[in-house]
Amino acid sequence: MEITKICCIGAGYVGGPTMAVIAQKCPQIQVTVVDLNTERILAWNDKNTENIPIYEPGLSEIVAEARGRNLFFSTDVEKAIDEAQIIFISVNTPTKTYGKGKGMAADLKYIELCARQIAKVAKGDKIVVEKSTLPVRTAEAIKSILDSTGNGVQFQILSNPEFLAEGTAVQDLLSPDRILIGGDYSVEGQKAIKALVDVYSNWVSPEKILTTNVWSSELSKLTANAFLAQRISSINAMSELCEKTGADVNEVARAIGMDSRIGSKFLKASVGFGGSCFQKDILNLVYIAKSYGLNEVADYWEQVIIMNDHQKRRFSNNIVQTLYNTVADKKITFLGWAFKKDTNDTRESAAIYVADDLINEHAKIAVFDPKVSRKKILSDLDYLETRTLEENEKSIFTSEDPYLSCEKAHAIAVLTEWDEFVHYDWQKIYDGMQKPAFVFDGRNILDKTKLEAIGFVYQAIGS
Ligand code: NAD
Ligand code: UDX
């Protein structure tokens, strides 16, 4: 089957960049990205592609090239479904905040809504692709909803999880380590797999395209995120031991990373991992294991989250302790709020939890992040429901100028590893601060020797 029309439901951090790259690499395919969120679609259609709703290096250029040619953003979900041969579902699957599985299971209500809408609209056969990260065996539920119409339309469900990381999404999409496609072993299933393989083959070499059964594909995505997060919690656990023993976690990471069986990536000790995926997906894995009665499996993976929570709490506790056991009315400047550099995404960022702890201690927090607005920072804190909006507003100060943010601060805490922080004029920052001037480097990016020579009291993670 020659694919000429693709639609993607969900114009978020995955749907937007993924479809932009497919459109760029497959000019013969019309790609339409739809979303219920009108504001988001308006932003994707903004004349100035610098204003698209997601900041990713290289993305606005790709959108500028493909948009209006074969890449379209729209709120007309039904029309896009009706026209497409392949429909990607790329909607959010957050942790449930209510009912059974609250705080653990993935909330699949948006997925189910998509399936029902596809079932309602489709008049011809469709390939439905799970792009969202889903609990293993979700395809079964989707298929049951799609097949319930009884109108003779044939649906094939494929699992095609996305492995991009934010901040490097474009690069990850252009040269993926692998593309994973799970499908049915039937003749129809194999045909559907081939159709999707052909789309990716426009720019990905065949040995990098892996096909499996649907359940392996669904579970591989949760497994990959669990393994990656586990490495961070493992090195963070060692960072605490390093601090007690005089070992340096950067040196330990380097030493173990040179063992080719371990490898050097994802061994950077930090204030704790954030992002919309790791915590959500591990909690989901824990929930699935428990639901099969696999309590040891569940406990094993839950420890990755427990360690990460401990690492965030340890960071804020250390700030309070070092500042003579009180931060009441002290100004603490956060450099960075995003969960990692090169993104404007703040979901589950460690900064939110560290700020919340310090505001509980009556600190005043000044935040500077090159890509995150005051509105977003306040809404992140409000979401925790620790205190009122007014109280948060009184505790958070923001400025467009990092030097102003640091002025008269008792301490600076580095929460995100933005490159520009390394190149600041640290002498100028020191001169404007209260003394002793403390720096808590939650990302181990600053030069300890240089900062100590200026006069800072400098503390990193794991040394
Ligand atoms: P997101 O919140 O940025 O985007 C999801 C979008 O879907 C939103 O704009 C929302 O309005 C829209 N939506 C929800 N229900 C809809 C419906 N019924 N019809 C139309 N639009 C609807 O989420 P995201 O970060 O892009 O993540 C999407 C999925 O991809 C999740 O399952 C996530 O786990 C997975 N994932 C995310 C990443 C990442 O780095 N963010 C990486 C890999 C996989
Ligand atoms: C992750 C997965 O990497 C990606 O494959 C998946 O598709 C989505 O989830 P993402 O959350 O966007 O991607 O970013 P990632 O680079 O994995 O970083 C997640 C968090 O871990 C960030 O807060 C980052 O700062 C932190 N991290 C990462 C560390 O603390 N140390 C490391 O060594 C690596």
For residue range 57-74, list pLDDT tens digits in order: 999 999 999 999 999 999
SS3 (DSSP) at 274: coil
Q: Which residues pair with 413 in a beta bridge?
A: 334, 440
Instruction: Assess whether pLDDT exceeds 90 at residue 40.
Output: yes
Q: With b meaning 16 or more CB within 10 Å and e meaning fewer, what string describes 66-101? A: bbeebbbbbeebeebbbbbbbbbbbbbbebbeeeeb
Give residue 167 CA to ligand 2 midpoint distance, Å: 9
Per-residue confidence (pLDDT) for residue 213, from 0 to 100:
96
Pocket test for ligand 2, best of 56, 227, 339, 461 (most atoms within 8 A of CB): 339
Give residue 334 CA to ligand 2 midpoint distance, Å: 20
Q: Mention every residue, 6+ apart, whose C-beta is less than 8 A from residue 87.
A: 6, 7, 8, 9, 81, 118, 126, 127, 128, 129
Verify whether ligand 2 is closer than 6 Å to residue 215 (CB atom): no
- CA-closest candidate to residue 89, choices 124, 133, 137: 133
Nearest CA to ligand 1 atom 28: 92
Tokens of 240: 């605490």
Per-residue confidence (pLDDT) for residue 197, from 0 to 100:
98
Q: Mention every residue, 6+ apart, whose C-beta is less than 8 A from residue 7.
A: 31, 32, 33, 34, 80, 81, 83, 84, 86, 87, 88
For residue range 358-388, list pLDDT tens digits in order: 999 999 999 999 999 999 999 999 999 999 9
Instruction: Assess whether pLDDT exceeds 90 at residue 128.
Output: yes
Pocket test for ligand 2, best of 277, 335, 344 (most atoms within 8 A of CB): 277
Q: What percent of the chain is modeled with pLDDT above 70?
A: 100
Per-residue confidence (pLDDT) for residue 353, from 0 to 100:
98
Beta strands in 256-361 (DSSP E): 331-335
Per-residue confidence (pLDDT) for residue 4, from 0 to 100:
98
For residue range 238-285, list pLDDT tens digits in order: 999 999 999 999 999 999 999 999 999 999 999 999 999 999 999 999
Nearest CA to ligand 1 atom 43: 162
Structural contact between residues 415 and 354, judged by C-beta atoms closer than 8 angstroms: yes
Nearest CA to ligand 1 atom 12: 10
* Residue 162 known to bind ligand: yes
Q: What percent of the chain is modeled with pLDDT above 90?
A: 99
Q: Point out the residues that are catalytic.
A: 277
Per-residue confidence (pLDDT) for residue 218, from 0 to 100:
97
* Residue 274 known to bind ligand: yes
Instruction: Assess whether pLDDT exceeds 90 at residue 107.
Output: yes
Give residue 428 CA to ligand 1 midpoint distance, Å: 42
Q: 39 falls in which pLDDT band (50, 70, 90)?
A: very high
Per-residue confidence (pLDDT) for residue 149, from 0 to 100:
84
For residue range 146-184, list pLDDT tens digits in order: 999 888 999 999 999 999 999 999 999 999 999 999 999
Per-residue confidence (pLDDT) for residue 284, from 0 to 100:
98
- CA-closest candidate to residue 307, choices 233, 368, 235, 366: 233
* Residue 279 known to bind ligand: yes
Atom of ligand 1 nearest to the CA of 40: 9
Task: State mean pLDDT over 192-215.
Answer: 98
Per-residue confidence (pLDDT) for residue 151, from 0 to 100:
85
Q: 1 falls in which pLDDT band (50, 70, 90)?
A: confident
Instruction: Assess whether pLDDT exceeds 90 at residue 119.
Output: yes
Residue with tokens 């096909």: 211
Per-residue confidence (pLDDT) for residue 150, from 0 to 100:
83
Instruction: Assess whether pLDDT exceeds 90 at residue 12.
Output: yes
* Residue 123 known to bind ligand: no
